[in-house]
Amino acid sequence: MNNIITLGQFIIEKQAQFPYAKGELSRLLRDIGIAAKIVNREVNKAGLMDILGSAGSTNIQGESQQKLDVYANTQFISALTSGGECCIVASEENEDIIRIDSAVSKSARYIVAIDPLDGSSNIDVNVPVGTIFSIYRRISKESLPGLPDVLQKGTEQVAAGYIIYGSSTMLVYTTGHGVNGFTLDPSIGEFCLSHPQMKIPETGTIYSINEGNYVHFPEGVKQYIKYCQVEDVKSCRPYSSRYIGSMVADLHRNLIKGGIFIYPNTAAAPSGKLRLVYECNPLAFVVEQAGGRATNGFSRILDLEVNQLHQRSPIFIGSNHMVMKAEAFMAGNKSKRQIGETTLQIS
């Protein structure tokens, strides 16, 4: 490979885009990259070690934690703590925020929200998993940093991205100036720029949704799925249904090839299932910067008010034209609410 640009070099070169920063954001992104390498090492040898299966505990959402969930969470928190540029870490695996007192004493100015291992239930069957991260500037000035620093709208993110641990390991991130992807070269142990200025196609032929929950979906989602399945040569339909069950993996594929990922609300999860702080906001920031669109079916994800640390939201995310089409179906059924298989009119 000619003219190799490593993640560290790239971050330093782009430092001028942040006149208010003095290298802290660059170091913070490098800390995330280091932790990703450690987690990648364990993911790649998971079948050879006793780190598969349940850890025998549950997270704040009541979901069974996998051993690698706990390991990844520990590694990212450790890297962010020792780095000294982050005063608060908010993890999907922890009930409360983690204030880093040593960093606070040094007036650290950044907040990191992280989903350490998205799709970890798939690790036992060798399906790609990932890490999602989001970075905000601290808004508390005179007081100790706290929950309000984390509960900022997605529009306030200064950086966000994901790492996908698959056939190759990639780190994809944005700082609001486009999206760039870096592939880990195991021969030198560095993330190298492989996908500069990533752009999602305006439309695609892939829709990603867990159709096993079809009967519980809102009517607008049901109609959109039927639309995707109807043959139409001009619009390249029927579309292909591709659902991995790891949001990072599904979104990464659609980012490159074009497509839509949908995780709607259901009767069992009326507010949706995915977490706004840890999953929806960071990935919405990435996709918008790549030219795509992300909404909850009616409103832009990044504009949603954040009221709770583990707040949930439906999400429609991907190629601009496909998301807009899904929104049109949702808008056409806005006066209806789907409960099980019964559609009720709301006055």
In this structure, what CATH number is given to the domain that contains residue 315? Answer: 3.40.190.80
Rounded Cα gap, residues 298 and 210, in angstroms:
20
Instruction: Please report whether residue 254 resides in a domain.
Output: yes
Of the listed ranges 46-55, 85-94, 330-339, the least confidently predicted one is: 46-55
> 172 has which bridge partners?
162, 181
Q: Angle 225-231-235 (CA atoms, 0-180°, nearest 5)?
A: 85
Same domain, 214 and 329: yes
Same domain, 306 and 248: yes
Rounded Cα gap, residues 138 and 252, in angstroms:
29
Instruction: Please report whether residue 1 resides in a domain.
Output: no
- Give the closest residue to 38 by CA, choosing from 96, 103, 101, 82: 82
Percent helix, strand, coil in the chain (nearest 5)? 35, 25, 35
Instruction: Please report whether residue 201 resides in a domain.
Output: no
- Give the closest residue to 193 by CA, choosing from 176, 175, 181, 185: 181
Instruction: Please report whether residue 227 resides in a domain.
Output: yes
Q: Which domain holds residue 218?
A: 206-345
pLDDT interval class at 341 (50, 70, 90) = very low
Cβ–Cβ under 8 Å, residues 253 and 317: no
Last residue of a domain, one of 195, 216, 248: 195
Q: For residue 342, what pLDDT is reported?
A: 33
Domain count, the chain: 2
The CATH number that applies at residue 140 is: 3.30.540.10
Cβ–Cβ under 8 Å, residues 190 and 316: no
Which residues are annotated as part of the binding site?
Answer: 92, 115, 117-121, 210, 243, 273, 279
Last residue of a domain, one of 195, 229, 263: 195
Same domain, 211 and 185: no
Q: For residue 303, what pLDDT is reported?
A: 98
Instruction: Please report whether residue 242 resides in a domain.
Output: yes
Q: What mean pLDDT, rounded, does the chain reach?
A: 88
Q: For residue 137, what pLDDT is reported?
A: 94
Instruction: Please report whether residue 309 resides in a domain.
Output: yes
Same domain, 290 and 181: no
Instruction: Please report whether residue 2 resides in a domain.
Output: no
pLDDT tens-digit readout, 67-103: 888 889 999 999 999 988 899 999 999 999 999 987 6
Q: Over the Cα atoms of the chain, what is R_g?
A: 20
Same domain, 210 and 173: no
Same domain, 138 and 261: no
pLDDT tens-digit readout, 289-323: 999 999 999 999 999 999 999 999 999 999 999 99
Instruction: Please report whether residue 46 resides in a domain.
Output: yes
Same domain, 64 and 126: yes
pLDDT surpassing 90 at residue 182:
yes
Which residues are annotated as part of the binding site for Mg(2+)?
Answer: 92, 115, 117-118, 279
DSSP string spanning 38-50? HHHHHHHTGGGTT
> 58 has which bridge partners?
64
pLDDT surpassing 60 at residue 345:
no
Write down the residue that tokens 């450790």 correspond to. Answer: 78
Write down the residue that tokens 């056939």 correspond to. Answer: 167
Residue 17: CB atoms within 10 Å: 11
DSSP string spanning 252-308? HHHHHH--EEEE---SS-TT-SEEIIIIIHHHHHHHHHTT-EEESSSSBGGGS---S
DSSP string spanning 121-142? GGGGGT--EEEEEEEEE---SS
pTM, to two decimals: 0.90
Which residues are annotated as part of the binding site for substrate?
Answer: 118-121, 210, 243, 273
Write down the residue that tokens 């208010």 correspond to. Answer: 20
Rounded Cα gap, residues 52 and 92, in angstroms:
20
